[in-house]
Each structure stands twice: as structure tokens, then as C-alpha cells.
């Protein structure tokens, strides 16, 4: 019997969507106001879910306290109140779209989650725009 355990978190971050190898005009056409050279910010909402078998000894799929601490150290401490393009090494050469941010978060968390368990990252950039990545 598999059960999904989820933890919500949030962080605030700035970013700019653009490609260095494109002209400003092409970036502007593709990314619009998200191409602002002075950046713009979001209040990101994050839902991290771990799915797996219930441990018969503990009754947990994963201890939520462990998941909470993992999200804090791997995501919140790394991204909160940061300019993703400038201050987060993973985005030095990667456009910080919601899709790419979700994949980066998943890659940061995956090594810390038991391989027998599935990991899913759901990232809300706005209350209506969100992406989900499961590996």
C-alpha cells in the first residue's frame, strides 16, 4: 500500500527570463515582461511529495520533520530572498523558468530521499501558474 506524504513551503525570489545568446528583441518577444533587465520577483509556493510504502515500525512513509528540514536546507536557504540568475549557481547557465526551478529543486532533494520512494515537486509561481516534476 503506497501513501503520498506532502509538505508545503514557500520562498521569495527574483529572476529574469532571457537567453544570453539571443538579442534583446527576441528575448522580449519570447519572454515579454519577464525579460525585464532589472529582474522581477515571485512568492513561490512549493509542495514536495514523497510516495512509498508505510514503514511497519514507525508508521511513516517519511518523517515529515525530516522532509521539512530537508526543504529548508536544500531549497529555502538556497533560494529565499535571492536573485536566482545572479546568486544561485544552478542558474548560472540555466534560464530560471518555473519548469527549470522545479527540476533543480527535485535534483537537490532526490539524493536525500530513499530510492524506494517516489519524489514529486509542485512549484507555484503564481496562484494560477504551476508546474509539477516527478523525475
Catalytic residues: 34, 81, 125
d(CA 94, CA 43): 20
Tell the burial category of 90 from Cβ atoms under 10 Å away from its Cβ (0-12, 13-18, 19+).
middle
Which one, of 11, 117, 31, 22, lies nearest residue 66 by Cα? 117
Cβ-count burial 55-70 (b if 16+ within 10 Å, e if not): eeeeebbbeeeebeeb
Q: What stretch of H or E contains 70?
A: helix 64-71
d(CA 110, CA 123): 16
d(CA 25, CA 102): 27
Amino acid at each position: 500500500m503506497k501513501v503520498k506524504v506532502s509538505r508545503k513551503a514557500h520562498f521569495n525570489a527574483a529572476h529574469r527570463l532571457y537567453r544570453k545568446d539571443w538579442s534583446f528583441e527576441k528575448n522580449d518577444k519570447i519572454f515579454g515582461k519577464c525579460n525585464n533587465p532589472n529582474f522581477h520577483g515571485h512568492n513561490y509556493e512549493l509542495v514536495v511529495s514523497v510516495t512509498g510504502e508505510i514503514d511497519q515500525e514507525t508508521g511513516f512513509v517519511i518523517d515529515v520533520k525530516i522532509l521539512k528540514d530537508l526543504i529548508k536546507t536544500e531549497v529555502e536557504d538556497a533560494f529565499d530572498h535571492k536573485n536566482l540568475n545572479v546568486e544561485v549557481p544552478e542558474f548560472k547557465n540555466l534560464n530560471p523558468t518555473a519548469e527549470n526551478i522545479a527540476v533543480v529543486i527535485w535534483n537537490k532533494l532526490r539524493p536525500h530521499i530513499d530510492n524506494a520512494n517516489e519524489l514529486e515537486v509542485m512549484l507555484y509561481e503564481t496562484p494560477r501558474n504551476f508546474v509539477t516534476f516527478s523525475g
